[in-house]
Structure 1
Amino acid sequence: MTRTSRIRAAAAAAAAVVLAGSGCSVIPVSGPYMVNDSGSGDPLSKPFQRMIATRPQPGWSAPDVIKGLQAAMAAYADDPTVLPQYLTPEALKSWSPAGAVTVLDDTWNWNFDLGEQDGTEAVQKVSVKAPQIARIEEDDTYVPQAGDWTRTIELVKVEGAGYRVRSLPPGLVLTKSDVDRAYRPTKLYYLGGGGQHRLVVDSVRLRLKPAKTYAQVILERLLKAPSAALQGAVGTGFPAGTRIESVRSGEDERVVVNLSGPIDTLDLSGEDALMAQIRYSLNNNDVAKGRVIEVQVDGEQYSVSQPNFDQGWLDNGANADYYVTKGAVHYMTNEGPGGAIAGPAGQPREGYSNFALSKQGDLVAAQTSTGISVTPATQEGQWQEVIQGAPQDLTAPSWHRDGSLWTFDRKNGVVLRYDPATGRPAQRVAAPGLKGWDVTRLRIARDGVRVVLTTGENLVHVGALTQAGGLKLSNVRVLTARDTGGVIEDLAWRDDEHVLVLVKRQAGQILNEIDIGDGDVTEIPLKNRLTRVAALNEHVLAQAESDKGQSQILELSQDQSWTTKIESDAETPLFPLG
């Protein structure tokens, strides 16, 4: 069945249909309606429902016109011709679809007054109120919001045409159902800054397009700049001016991506990076997974990527877990307790806390009463104080994947970076957005780009390490619109996209997993009271107090229950980085 015939079939069946996706009541006179747009079964696409808006009818009431207007907004990206028909000429001149998209809850409250006479025109004012869920920025970032969205919309009765909207705030307003129907959470992969052999994920919301597969929508967006969260922090393997000519299924079920533009097919120095961006951006959005990907330039083969071929583009360092007992760092085994690591960090010592392990676990940092010290995990290693400051003046040390050590100097209000490779004193890193902030924690992500930090007792922020004009901590924003409702006791990076936040409330503790892309919060159930948390992807550990008052290490199971990993004399679970 062609797309045209599907539309006609849907129209015939839509004589009276609920305004799907807006939570509103039935609009008479056969509209609006939706059609399924499955991409003709193309495995490179995803099925979705496309709103078909209906132009306003002379017999419609003011409420019907407002509901039809909202449907026209939902359909605007696919068909921008219907919405202007709801506006008076004056309103059309002043209204613009540009700017962020407002996302509201499906439940709206309408308040229509009795109308009034404005000169020769009958005026109807409509007050609209709904909980605002989010904004979708022009860079496709999904930003959670809290509170109510309230606007007043004026309509006038036009002779022979019915009601038209006389005043309309700029921008598009969609419901949650509209967004769920037409948008998809999408992961784009860019190159880590500073020449790192690492991909960095950028989570956005992309609108599906009837005339293009989802795979093509993803790659066309990948050619653009990253979202504001990663501006200046990541790079790309695509030369400026590269275009996506087509994305299709080829022979042997391979995915064929045809590019054009200034790609030098004789210079393969950037081939690995370009192919990695394409493969991860398609695979990790459940498009082309398990399939060979062939990239062409102007129709000629450029490179071929085999399924499951991994060159370490998402490497997180050593996959090992550790813990502290009696001031000494130990490694864990599958059964539980393991031996002490080599060197001074594996020897019992009082006064050392907040241990942190470098990427391969070969360097250990710890906080003391006078500063932060570092030692190699070797028999010949010795503790060396590399940053001075009282415990209350320095945040716990955090390793970067490049081997540098970071902390925030609360006394002087500056970010400090120490590089063991040079041995020079710790250097200040510019962080203009943090001026005057009460920074209480700072943790570098394993991707080497993002930074999570807390201010005061209960605010969580995320930023990025940018390179333009020198190394800076920039792009800092509040991580979630939801109030933690208590005091933050600990936090840790779980993976490239999620942070674990341990919060103490009057009613008890909660452990939240926060998605750094859209701010979504998932609560992990707790049984014991926790003191510390550590994580590496699916592996989550926590320090807890047993019923007998002993310190133990717990492990989170796949069913979200906790099991005992080490029964006693175990503190501070650790993973390299994070």
Structure 2
Amino acid sequence: MTRISRLGTALGIVAAMVLGGSGCTVIPPNGPYTVNNDEGAGDPLSKPFQRMIAIPPQPGWGAEDTIRGLQAAMAAHADDPSVLADYLTPEARAKWTAAGPVTVIQDEYEVVVPPPRESETSMKITLKAHVAALINEDDSYKPTGGSWERTFELVKLPEGYRVSSLPAGLLLTQSDVARAYRPTNLYYVNRSTQDRLVVDRVRLRLDTMETFAQTVLERLLEPPTEALRGAVTSSFPADTKIESIRSGEDRVIINLSGQLDTLDLSTEETLRGQIRNSLNRNEIAKGRVIEILVDGEPYTVDRPDSVDQWLDDDVRDSAYYVDKGAVHYLTKDGAGGAVAGAAGEQREGYSHFAVSAGPNPLIAARTSTGISVAGLAPEGVWQEVVQGDDLTPPTWHRDGSLWTYDGKNGTLLKYDPVRQRTDPVRVPEELDRLDINQFRIARDGVRVAVTTGDETVQIGALTGEGTGMKLENLQLLTNTETGNEIKDIAWRDDEHLLVLVQATAGQTLNEINVGDGETTGVPLKDRLQSVAAFQDQVLADVTTKGGSKLMALSQDQQTWTAKIDTDGGAPLFPLG
């Protein structure tokens, strides 16, 4: 028979009590244990956390205790790798490496121990769990799911059990990750337009030997995650180093070294924007002056009241809706008038409108024969710019170009209104075999959301620049059960995509962080037809007996209220 032992039956993880003032720590005898690392709790450059303290294998431990102790030693490995080595035989120690993705499992797991046999000196132990995520070597966090198991080979030595075969990589629980890692936003520069910072979300492990500010900036000097490779760049020369970070009452002083051109004002502004947003948007040094030195000499200063246009979408508070084919602007009080030009006139056959950004926006719409564009001005008239009867709804890039996917010919198309020319864009080969329903460019001009079939959303990036731009880095974001339909998607901001799913039992609306898959459900009462969003504004249309009703999501994300009771369908914001 096989014995299955559950978490907590043999080896507990107990948090140490840190006694205020005395500095003493009460250590449980059976370990492992955690210690509150709160020395920097009052320092805005640091983040307090609990540090795992693992203990070596004990002579009296059984096979299960040894495996649980091994897993705890993996959680403490970054701070003290010597303990994990104690669990391994010399041969296993020579072969094992921590390199590779970190496997994250749910906290409760099973250790399957075979029945003992006389004179047996080795055995295979299986750890069974539900996998939660992978933390890749580029620090990206990828949620996953399903059953998971790993086999360990143990040998019985005079000093106790030791692991003789251990697969490469660390195995952590969700609690281990919550203790020692922090979700972190890093900011790089949009390669194609060079006018916008792009967020790259990672999981960074807190380091007991440095402040979190140091950890963040050291990672910022490295390339972005795989999802953004080729799509973003950095203002830091390759040889840049963080020499020191100091903080005072009202300022943070960062000393860099490397081949920084101190006379290049463009690089100075970009570097300042990368540092400012990577620190402040992770709640580090917020509200303080950031003084940047190069080799100890003053380079640039960023003040809390500095104007930051690096995350500007040039969208302002523009919001629109459609009534009987005519586009109207939305006011704070509700319905506004029709927009100027042909776009404000009622007509049949025009749908899936999209608005560009900037002071002189254009509006695009899909028809039965292609994509047409008109200016939002009295002289604006509809002009068909892309022909085709199997095109995805139009989407605008922040550079002013219009994009759509031609499903019949398997071609991604980019229309330049200035040159009045349409060019094909290279895409991954696998897209040729998929049914592309929606193609939506985020407001950062880099990330792209693609719905394939009725059930899958993928996230990609526009890499390169100019005529060399192409779609790459496609990764699965989410899918739904067979028989359900992804009805609509909308970028809320650079990080979050709204996904509206229609199922037999009803609808769900999820807000998904495209960087790490973190998902938040949005409550629904009515059946939505479409959704549009811009930062804290979320609009949707609901079909009623009296026509379309425009609904707005409350600031607390819990309730919907009517913005327009009748004749207010198909909301839209510029870009996204």
Contact 1:462 1:478 in 2 (8 A): yes
Report what 1:132 is aligned to.
131
Contact 2:512 2:518 in 1 (8 A): yes
Report what 2:38 is aligned to.
38
Shift of residue 263, structure 1, vs aligned partner: 1.1
Contact 2:36 2:49 in 1 (8 A): yes
Alpha-carbon distance in 2 for matches of 1:232, 1:483: 33
Report what 2:7 is aligned to.
none
Contact 1:116 1:124 in 2 (8 A): no
Alpha-carbon distance in 2 for matches of 1:156, 1:6: 40
The residue type equivalent to 1:534 in the other structure is A
Match for residue 185 of structure 2 among 184, 187, 197 = 187
Shift of residue 115, structure 1, vs aligned partner: 2.9
Shift of residue 503, structure 1, vs aligned partner: 0.6
Report what 1:109 is aligned to.
110
Report what 2:286 is aligned to.
289
Matched, 1:572 2:570: yes
Report what 1:21 is aligned to.
none
The residue type equivalent to 1:65 in the other structure is T
Q: Deviations over 1:380-412 (max 9, x none)?
A: 22211111111xx11000000000000111001
Structure 1 480/80 Cα, relative in aligned 2: closer, same or farther at 3 Å? farther
Report what 2:152 is aligned to.
153
Alpha-carbon distance in 2 for matches of 1:549, 1:524: 25
Matched, 1:551 2:564: no
Shift of residue 269, structure 1, vs aligned partner: 2.9
Alpha-carbon distance in 2 for matches of 1:538, 1:308: 22
Alpha-carbon distance in 2 for matches of 1:12, 1:343: 74
- TM-score normalized by the length of structure 2: 0.93
Q: Deviations over 1:506-557 (max 9, x none)?
A: 11011111110111221100111100100000100000123x4421100000
Contact 1:192 1:449 in 2 (8 A): yes
Q: How does 1:367-446 map to 2 (within 5 A)?
A: 367-390=366-389, 393-446=390-443
Alpha-carbon distance in 1 for matches of 2:303, 2:362: 36
Q: How does 1:67-466 map to 2 (within 5 A)?
A: 67-116=68-117, 122-159=121-158, 161-250=159-248, 252-319=249-316, 320-360=318-358, 362-390=361-389, 393-466=390-463
Q: Deviations over 1:323-369 (max 9, x none)?
A: 01111111011110101111110111111111110013620101111
Q: How does 1:397-546 map to 2 (within 5 A)?
A: 397-467=394-464, 470-480=468-478, 486-546=484-544
Report what 1:13 is aligned to.
26
Shift of residue 105, structure 1, vs aligned partner: 0.1
Name stretches of at least 5 consecutive residues in structure 1 with no aligned partner: 17-27
Alpha-carbon distance in 1 for matches of 2:525, 2:129: 37
SS of residue in 2 equivalent to 1:138? coil
Shift of residue 458, structure 1, vs aligned partner: 0.9
Alpha-carbon distance in 2 for matches of 1:128, 1:176: 16
The residue type equivalent to 1:405 in the other structure is L
The residue type equivalent to 1:13 in the other structure is V
Report what 1:25 is aligned to.
none
Structure 1 11/108 Cα, relative in aligned 2: closer, same or farther at 3 Å? farther
Structure 1 481/46 Cα, relative in aligned 2: closer, same or farther at 3 Å? farther
Which moves more between the two structures, 364-373 or 37-46?
37-46
Q: Deviations over 1:169-205 (max 9, x none)?
A: 2110000000000000000000011233100000000
Report what 1:19 is aligned to.
none
Shift of residue 39, structure 1, vs aligned partner: 4.1
Alpha-carbon distance in 1 for matches of 2:69, 2:480: 32
Name stretches of at least 5 consecutive residues in structure 2 with no aligned partner: 1-17
Q: Aligned residue pairs: how many?
A: 553
Which moves more between the two structures, 270-279 or 376-385?
376-385
The residue type equivalent to 1:43 in the other structure is P
SS of residue in 1 equivalent to 2:121? strand
Alpha-carbon distance in 2 for matches of 1:431, 1:317: 30
Alpha-carbon distance in 2 for matches of 1:315, 1:485: 39
Contact 1:362 1:376 in 2 (8 A): yes
Structure 1 368/347 Cα, relative in aligned 2: closer, same or farther at 3 Å? same
Shift of residue 10, structure 1, vs aligned partner: 8.3
Q: For the aligned residues, what is the CA RMSD?
A: 1.9
Alpha-carbon distance in 2 for matches of 1:527, 1:12: 52
Shift of residue 313, structure 1, vs aligned partner: 0.8
Contact 2:188 2:197 in 1 (8 A): yes
SS of residue in 2 equivalent to 1:60? coil
Shift of residue 267, structure 1, vs aligned partner: 3.0
Which moves more between the two structures, 31-40 or 72-81?
31-40
Shift of residue 78, structure 1, vs aligned partner: 1.0
Which moves more between the two structures, 445-454 or 462-471?
462-471
Structure 1 482/297 Cα, relative in aligned 2: closer, same or farther at 3 Å? farther
Structure 1 486/388 Cα, relative in aligned 2: closer, same or farther at 3 Å? same
Contact 1:367 1:396 in 2 (8 A): yes
Report what 2:13 is aligned to.
none
Provide the identity percentage: 57
Alpha-carbon distance in 2 for matches of 1:140, 1:403: 33
Alpha-carbon distance in 2 for matches of 1:483, 1:287: 40
Report what 2:4 is aligned to.
none
- TM-score normalized by the length of structure 1: 0.92
